[in-house]
Structure 1
Amino acid sequence: MITVHHLNNSRSQRVLWLLEELGLEYDIQRYQRDPKTMLAPKELRAVHPLGKSPVITDNGLTIAESGAIIEYLVDTYGNGRFVAERGTPAYLKQRYWLHYAEGSAMPVLLLKLVAARIGATPMPFFARPIARKISSGLQGGYIDPQLETHLKYIEGELAATGWFAGNDFTIADVQMSFPLEAAAARGGMGSRFPAIGAFLERIHSRPAYGRALERGGEYALLR
């Protein structure tokens, strides 16, 4: 039996989603973030040395990292579902977006989150103006322009077919769901990126996505 070590409001939600798409049985081991630090609890280190989610265990294996988990699940249980055909341009795109999600998109979004917290963290009154200036400078001078570049790039890609790897839904779309949900929550996209907005609406309307939310529980990125 597959066990998902699931942290609330985290990347592991997309693993639950893929499991629902594949129609697989699985158990959930739940973990809650520390309400002050928002970090994962130390209990996760008993599962994997980095103490982060997602992690799955299956047939004696412990597998971490969203992209590796997603590839393992479709390679082991997918029977060709939700993957582009090998040797095609769509397959190359699928592989690209599996890496891009965490290698390029998420670092900018994490910087956005950290910079915002610099300005909002409780501190002595005399330090607040300095912290807010640092936060504003980071966001306005570097982070926001970088995020805008990424969102424009993604918008252009999605405008072609509505999916990330060819004309059909694939694991690339599962992997890219989290950074785009994070961007919608933190990046102030508004209505400037209609193809991204349509993509999010499309994946959120999938029955398997809804079932994953029911199983996974709180997922604040959708607020």
Structure 2
Amino acid sequence: MTLTVHHLGISQSERVVWLCEELGIDYEFKRYDRRADNRLAPDELKALHPAGMAPVIQDGDLTLAESGAICEYIDRKYGAEKHCPRPDNPDFADHLFWFHYTNGTFMTNGMMQLMLSMADPQNPMPGGFVADRTAKAWSQVEQRLGEAEFFGGSQLTLADIMMVYCLTTARMMRETTLDDVPNTKAYLKRISERPAYQRMWAKCEPGMEPNLT
């Protein structure tokens, strides 16, 4: 039985590859380029799962989508929950918060902001509710990374695997910098020095530099 990770270039499926590299497990890696006409996933990747988007994994007869679900599945099945603190661990609640905050709030804010900017090109940073929520989210991230070495606390957890994409690759769509968040910038430097992260990046985005500044 072979675990296969399907990665779409410049997408959140990098999370899954990074986790596999951190765990040091055997897996088959398949990379797909975005379509030239609309920058979306090619039909062969969309056909793998009804969600029609990356990431997708196949593990025997199982085909699974959704990055959070995939990361938890892989860590539980292949990693003995190495990146999921147990309830008796003092980092348990922080890990849970940031793991779910990533796509539930932080990434949602960014996507809303991006969509509003595309709807009104003359206003790339829309004011009001969305901008306020986004600013608060970044402030919360900066505060957290001034308090702890990792989002989940004292060690790398799935919370970090999920959040780093939002702070790096996802920013390419909005062209934002990290000039005003030194704790976040220092954190990403530490992450970028991890051999597993470097191996992931070389596989996922060959020839491109990670967005760390």
Partner of 1:85: 86
The change in CA–CA distance for 1:61 and 1:19 in structure 2 (over 3 A counts) is same
Partner residue in 2 for 1:140: 127
Per-residue CA deviations over 1:156-210 (Å, capped at 9, x if unaligned) read: 1111112111211111111111111156542634321111111111111100011
Mean Cα deviation higher: 12-21 or 158-167: 158-167
Partner of 1:222: 211
Partner of 1:6: 7
CA distance in 2: counterparts of 1:70 and 1:191, whole angstroms: 30
* CA shift in 2, pair 1:183/1:50, >3 Å: closer
Distance 1:188 1:15, change over 3 A: same
Kindly indicate whether residue 196 of structure 2 is the aligned counterpart of residue 196 of structure 1: no
SS at structure 2 position matched to 1:139: coil
1: CA distance, partners of 2:205 / 2:63: 23
CA distance in 2, matches of 1:114, 1:221: 23
1:121 aligned partner: none
For 1:110, the aligned partner's letter is M
The answer to whether the Cα contact below 8 Å between 1:2 and 1:27 also exists between their aligned partners in 2 is yes
Aligned match of 1:126: none
Q: What percent identity do the matched residue pairs reach?
A: 35
Instruction: Say if 1:182 and 1:150 are closer, same or farther in 2 by CA, change over 3 A.
Output: farther
Deviation, 1:80, is 4.0
The residue that corresponds to 2:106 in the other structure is: 105
Once residues 202 and 209 of structure 2 are traced to their aligned partners in structure 1, the CA distance between those partners, rounded to angstroms, is: 13
Does the C-alpha gap of structure 1 residues 17 and 183 become closer, same or farther in structure 2, counting only changes over 3 Å?
closer
Whether 2:95 is the aligned partner of 1:94: answer: yes
Question: Following TM superposition, by how much is the alpha carbon of 1:214 offset from its aligned partner in structure 2, in angstroms?
Answer: 1.6
Counterpart-to-counterpart distance in 1, 2:154 and 2:182: 18
The answer as to whether partners of 1:18 and 1:174 remain within 8 angstroms in 2 is yes
Equivalent pairs, count: 209
Across the aligned residues of Structure 1 and Structure 2, the Cα RMSD in angstroms comes to 2.1
- Retained in 1: the 8 A contact 2:150–2:160? yes
The secondary structure found in structure 1 opposite 2:20 is: helix
Q: Which amino acid aligns with 2:139?
A: K
Partner of 1:123: none
Residue 166 of structure 1 corresponds to which residue in structure 2? 153
**Cα 1:200–1:20, aligned 2, differ >3 Å: closer, same or farther?**
same
Q: Which runs of 5+ in 1 are unaligned?
A: 119-130
User: Aligned partners of 1:64 and 1:93: how far apart in 2?
Assistant: 25
2:96 and 2:35 mapped to 1: Cα distance? 34
1:7-26 → structure 2 map (5 Å cutoff): 7-26=8-27
Query: What CA distance in whole angstroms lies between the structure 2 residues aligned with 1:116 and 1:132?
Result: 6
CA distance in 2, matches of 1:83, 1:221: 26
Q: Is the contact between residue 5 and residue 30 of structure 2 (CA under 8 Å) also seen in structure 1? A: yes
- For 2:39 and 2:166, the matched residues in 1 are separated by 18
The offset of 1:99, in angstroms, is: 1.2
Given that 1:106 and 1:179 are in contact with CA atoms closer than 8 Å, whether structure 2 keeps it comes out as yes
Give TM-score scaled by structure 2 length: 0.88
Q: Does structure 1 retain, via aligned residues, the 8 Å contact 2:11–2:169?
A: no
The amino acid across from 2:100 in the alignment is H
- Residue 39 of structure 2: aligned partner: 38
Higher helix share: 1
Distance in 2 (alpha carbons) for counterparts of 1:53 and 1:70: 13
Q: Distance in 1 between matches of 2:26 and 2:114?
A: 34
**SS of residue in 1 equivalent to 2:83:** coil
